[in-house]
Structure 1
Amino acid sequence: MGGTEFVGRAVTEAALAKGWQVTVFHRGRHEAPRGAAVLHGDRTAPEGLAALRTGEWDAVVDTWSWAPSAVRDTARLLSGRVERYAYVSSGSVYEFPKAPGLGEEAPVVAGAPDAGDVPYAEAKRGGELAALESFGAEGALFARAGLILGPYENVGRLPWWLSRIARGGPVLAPGPAGLPLQYIDVRDLADWILHAVETGLSGPYNLVCRSGHATMGSLLEACVAATGAAAELRWTAPEDVLAAGIEPWTELPVWVPPEGPEYAGYHDTLHRTGVEKAHAAGLRCRPVAETVADTWEWLRSLGGQAPQRPDRPQKGVPPEKEAKALGTAGH
């Protein structure tokens, strides 16, 4: 469902590379990967699923992020003609704050399969319940992804860091450099989802690398290496970053401070999730340097301008704000 952008595209390309027959159902705004069969429709429009009224498939991969009712309608329509429904959910379905190290047993937010426009966490939980309603516990798979990075990213996190570091000069690097991160390369996510549907997995799985697989230091140093830029990472204490009025996660993508009253619980929730269930079920995560280098090559192939989802805010700290924090304003 989709199959032409970021996660959906990575899943489609990985399935085609395995020699699978792939159908993508999308609105037609972006070109589908070569080799995929194409069906057009708009899940938000009346009769928008008409193209899916006939046909049978082994599995569906659904990346929908908005109203759960769209997942409900799709799952109901395909029930009986599809064996497995893999819904790309999110670690956001867990109640906040989440204790560090908790896995899929952590409490989740309330959600409803019939809901319309609701906040992101409730939407993803509602999507899970919608798939469960039609496919049951044995046929519904919930890929609860965390932070997703890699080629095709249309959210603007890693592309912003690469573009900023490529400009060179002093770069505000939010510390500490050893701060552990959790994320997943979109291609590793795609590979695991295909493995999961092929082997008949069901239920929820947290899909990110182990905490500390990368750090803020290794991520940003990989950006410097990939771009070859004359950039100087100026590591700045979290309290100084916050004192400068810079917003974690949005203005400095990926990063959240490890502690502090205003952001208590954020780092543990985002970067200290229990993931052993997925790793025991075949999840493999490539080195951060590979993710960064491949994303840079993809970004260069687009002339340096990454696509941006219109429903997500622009990422990155404004240059004047960064300069002020670094004490380089006017230089």
Structure 2
Amino acid sequence: MRAKRLLILGGTEFVGRAFTDEALARGWEVTVFHRGRHPAPPGVTSLHGDRAAGPPGLAALSTGSWDLVVDTWRGAPTAVRDAARLLADRVGHHVYVSSRSVYAFPAAPGLDEQGPVVAGSPDSTDSEYAPAKRGGELAALAAFGERTLLARCGLVLGPGENVGRLPWWLNRIARGGPVPAPGPSELGIQYIDARDVAAWCLDAAVRGLGGAYNLVSPPGETTIGALLAACLRVTGSDAELRWVDGAAIVAAGVEPWTQLPIWFPPGEYHDTMHQGDVRKALAAGLRLRPLEETVADTWAWLRTLPGRTPEGTEHSPTGLSARTEALLLGH
């Protein structure tokens, strides 16, 4: 049987790299289209271009055909639109890595794929995250129709996480000492390993699945307490988790999600981020690796980096200052 031919628009960092690695492990022929800012993985065909430059930046994609294409773009929807139009007649199936941020805020607990979404346009040049992702969805649908799979991911973790959310917790806990832990410890969180996103999306695309799927762990399956306990175990740290009431954290002026990555206190933001319905994806074969594996593999990857610091993005957390930590530990 002929190996599948995969084109990844991106493919050199975090989620895109997870797709590249998964496809290569399956013996597929992989082409990555990227700007050349990061080295392409060994074993792929590398094409260079800048999607931000509009259609002229896609010249390297003017020829060639593939069984499927994966697009991870998070900026202006016009980039998704232009690439999808160019490739629609030469690619069998399309995967757009979208986000659960496309749902209108606040998202009710248990919201499924039929929930209301934000406004977006495939012709927009705006990069504001939620409407840009929705515009990207619409662009993909306009070009590929039922041949496009919309992977609405929640919080994505795992090795290669250049955002730095789980890396921040691992590095902080590895330093030891008392650590303010945002409570309550039994507060549920939803996340997905980037490698599980890639594996499921490739399987689903081969099967010809289309439409929107929420990709994240089931609500309540994992807690903030379990995550931080896993960080303690894999780092071998002597850190002491001191649980701080969520109301006290907010009262201290600490920003959830940015200064305390992954965590939101109970309420609308928590329900929106950590209470989504994922039954459709689970019924379609989504499989999730254990939390401990994600945390351990992320720690192993971090230790290969200078200073254990990922490169970071505009979404990278700021973390807690020593002064703020002391304030929280006083509660």
Instruction: Mark yes or no: TM-score above 0.5.
Output: yes
Letter in 2 for 1:156: G
Q: Could you say which residue in structure 1 is the equivalent of 2:5?
A: none
Q: Assess if the C-alpha contact under 8 Å between 1:75 and 1:135 holds in 2.
A: yes
Q: After superposition, where does 1:104-123 map in structure 2 within 5 Å?
A: 104-123=113-132
Q: After superposition, where does 1:142-221 map in structure 2 within 5 Å?
A: 142-221=150-229
Q: Assess if the C-alpha contact under 8 Å between 1:88 and 1:142 holds in 2.
A: yes
Deviation at 1:73, TM superposition (A): 0.3
Residue number among 283, 287, 308 corresponding to 1:284 in the alignment: 287
Deviation at 1:33, TM superposition (A): 1.3
Letter in 1 for 2:78: S
Pairwise CA RMSD: 1.2
The 4+ residue runs of structure 1 with deviation greater than 4 A are none
Deviation at 1:160, TM superposition (A): 0.2
Deviation at 1:315, TM superposition (A): 3.1
C-alpha separation in 1, matches of 2:273 and 2:70: 24
Q: Is 1:274 matched up with 2:277?
A: yes
Give percent identity, aligned residues only. Answer: 63
C-alpha separation in 2, matches of 1:310 and 1:232: 29
Q: Is 1:64 matched up with 2:73?
A: yes
Q: Could you say which residue in structure 1 is the equivalent of 2:320?
A: 317
C-alpha separation in 2, matches of 1:283 and 1:306: 31
Range moving further from structure 2, 39-48 or 245-254: 39-48
Deviation at 1:301, TM superposition (A): 1.2
Task: Structure 1: state its 5+ residue gaps.
Answer: 260-264
C-alpha separation in 1, matches of 2:27 and 2:318: 37
Deviation at 1:202, TM superposition (A): 0.3
Q: Assess if the C-alpha contact under 8 Å between 1:163 and 1:304 holds in 2.
A: no
C-alpha separation in 2, matches of 1:291 and 1:75: 32
Q: Is 1:139 matched up with 2:142?
A: no
Q: Could you say which residue in structure 2 is the equivalent of 1:130?
A: 139
C-alpha separation in 2, matches of 1:75 and 1:185: 26
1:265-309: per-residue Cα shift (whole Å, max 9, x none)? 111111010000001111111111111011000000113433234
Residue number among 293, 303, 306 corresponding to 2:306 in the alignment: 303
CA 310–254 in structure 1, closer or farther in 2 if over 3 Å, else same? closer
C-alpha separation in 1, matches of 2:276 and 2:206: 25
Q: Could you say which residue in structure 2 is the equivalent of 1:85?
A: 94
Q: Assess if the C-alpha contact under 8 Å between 2:74 and 2:127 holds in 1.
A: no
C-alpha separation in 1, matches of 2:318 and 2:26: 34
1:153-206: per-residue Cα shift (whole Å, max 9, x none)? 011100000000000000000000000110101111111111111111100000
C-alpha separation in 2, matches of 1:198 and 1:306: 36
Alignment size in residue pairs = 322
Q: Give TM-score, length-normalised by structure 2.
A: 0.95
C-alpha separation in 2, matches of 1:296 and 1:305: 9
C-alpha separation in 1, matches of 2:270 and 2:330: 27
Q: Assess if the C-alpha contact under 8 Å between 1:113 and 1:126 holds in 2.
A: yes
What SS does the corresponding residue of 1:141 show, helix, strand or coil? strand
Letter in 2 for 1:238: G
CA 111–208 in structure 1, closer or farther in 2 if over 3 Å, else same? same
C-alpha separation in 1, matches of 2:290 and 2:326: 31
C-alpha separation in 2, matches of 1:289 and 1:313: 23
Q: Assess if the C-alpha contact under 8 Å between 1:14 and 1:190 holds in 2.
A: yes
Q: Could you say which residue in structure 1 is the equivalent of 2:57?
A: 48
Q: Is 1:236 matched up with 2:244?
A: yes
Q: Could you say which residue in structure 2 is the equivalent of 1:262?
A: none
Deviation at 1:313, TM superposition (A): 4.1
Letter in 2 for 1:234: R
1:100-158: per-residue Cα shift (whole Å, max 9, x none)? 1121010111110000024211000000000011111x111100000000000011100
What SS does the corresponding residue of 2:53 show, helix, strand or coil? coil
1:1-27: per-residue Cα shift (whole Å, max 9, x none)? 010000000000000000010000001
Q: Assess if the C-alpha contact under 8 Å between 1:58 and 1:82 holds in 2.
A: yes
C-alpha separation in 2, matches of 1:8 and 1:313: 18
C-alpha separation in 1, matches of 2:240 and 2:316: 27
Task: Structure 2: state its 5+ residue gaps.
Answer: 1-8
Residue number among 88, 104, 113 corresponding to 1:95 in the alignment: 104
Letter in 2 for 1:209: S
What SS does the corresponding residue of 1:125 show, helix, strand or coil? helix
Q: Assess if the C-alpha contact under 8 Å between 2:88 and 2:144 holds in 1.
A: yes
Deviation at 1:314, TM superposition (A): 3.6
